[in-house]
Amino acid sequence: MELINYIDFLLPRFCLHCNIKLNVNEKYLCTYCSDSLRRTNELSLNHLNRIKSLCDCRTLYLFEKDMPIQSLIHNLKYNGIFRIGIYLGRTIGEEYKNIFLDEWHIDSIVPVPLYHSKQAERGYNQSYYIAKGIKSVTGINVFKVLKRIRYTQSQTELTLSERILNVKGAFKIKRFKNVKGKRLLLVDDVITTGSTINECASVLLEAGANKVYAASIAIAGSDSHSIESRNSK
């Protein structure tokens, strides 16, 4: 404990959201910011369960703009702090371990891939680190069976129908033997309309996957249009 205090004194760490100095036992966020993360509710899970190629889905938090969850995701994706992915992946694993193992009987974890130039620019795929975090708790192996074969523009400015078109045909299988007959858990950082995860899941199913499930750190926009309006068309 004394050594940890000493290291903390020499290399102080700060809350990624409010910038206050962190205590020894705090990670990435101070207790106040961490307590203000909003867990998913019934409504957001219903939203996810409407993604048609998925059997089921779990997500930890509601994504909220200008809130601690955005600071976590932003630092994970754009500031090189890939360890946040491992940390939150462990949290997902601890929370849903029994579901993944005893209810869904997951054979392997599949991170949603980035296009190669995007990954080269970022240096890593954040979803891969989330997957590794889940593996460290559940013992389920991670296989990079999907490849993104085409650059897809950022989805943030697109309407729902544009998002679906944007990701259509963007993924390909690269390891069929790890897909055929398997029960897979797709992992992504944030799920918004679900069009990316739905496209990945349908490619896996076409390649012979038995069942596809998904998990993410956060879900965005569950109170707006999205999946529901797609299914009602």
Residues that bind Zn ion (CB under 5 A): 15, 17-18, 30, 33
Nearer CB in complex with Zn ion: 68/133: 68
Separate counts of helices (H) and strands (E) for the chain: 10, 7
CA dihedral 175, 178, 183, 188 (to 10 degrees): -50
Least Cβ distance, residue 95 to Zn ion (angstroms): 22
Distance CA 211, CA 199 (A): 14
Least Cβ distance, residue 129 to Zn ion (angstroms): 22
Distance CA 133, CA 82 (A): 11
Nearer CB in complex with Zn ion: 17/58: 17
Nearer CB in complex with Zn ion: 18/101: 18
Distance CA 228, CA 11 (A): 48
Distance CA 121, CA 193 (A): 25
What count of Cα atoms within 13 Å lies in the side-chain half-sphere of residue 111?
Answer: 23
Least Cβ distance, residue 20 to Zn ion (angstroms): 5
Nearer CB in complex with Zn ion: 27/83: 27
Least Cβ distance, residue 73 to Zn ion (angstroms): 15
Distance CA 65, CA 14 (A): 20
Least Cβ distance, residue 76 to Zn ion (angstroms): 16
Nearer CB in complex with Zn ion: 28/128: 28
Q: Are 71 and 16 in contact (CB under 8 A)?
A: yes
Nearer CB in complex with Zn ion: 83/144: 83
Structure tokens at 54: 């998925």
Least Cβ distance, residue 213 to Zn ion (angstroms): 33
- The strands making up 183-191's β-sheet, listed across from edge to edge, are 57-62, 211-219, 183-191, 108-111, 141-142
